[in-house]
Amino acid sequence: VACWRAVQIGVDRGWQSVIIEGDSLATIKKCNTTGQDRSMIGVYIPDIQQQISKFNKIRFQYTPRSANNLAHILATETLKRKEEVYLEMEVPEYAKEQRRIDWVREPD
């Protein structure tokens, strides 16, 4: 469902190039294939595939949860606060320290 929503946001905002990261390898694989899927998220996959043509470039990328503490903080805090947050080159104040830590650890 999160991948579907991310695709919809990209379409709504008119973005031409999008990278959608997720920590569910199964979901990322499903988003990257065009075959029929009978799983519970399978109803979203045809919608995602239909929207892909609206982008010049779109990539669904698996990122292990352990490697993405920033995403975890953003997800848990926004759920607690009942917020909907879209990140465009910035993170909320409560996530800035984790962003700094992740940036320092990231190789060039």
Domain boundary assignment for the chain: 1-63, 66-104
Looking at the chain, the whole-number percentage of residues with pLDDT higher than 70 is 86
pLDDT in tens, 33-42: 877 777 877 7
**Superfamily per CATH, domain 1-63:** Ribonuclease H-like superfamily/Ribonuclease H (3.30.420.10)
Tell how many helices (H) and how many strands (E) occur in the chain.
Answer: 5, 2
Per-residue pLDDT of 85-97, as tens digits, reads 666 677 777 777 7
Please report where in the chains the tokens 């999160």 appear, as a residue: 2
28-42 per-residue burial string, b: 16 or more CB within 10 A, e: under 16: bebbeeeeebeeebe
Say yes or no to pLDDT of 76 above 70: yes
Question: Which comes out higher in pLDDT, residue 90 or 8?
Answer: 8
Mean pLDDT of the chain: 82
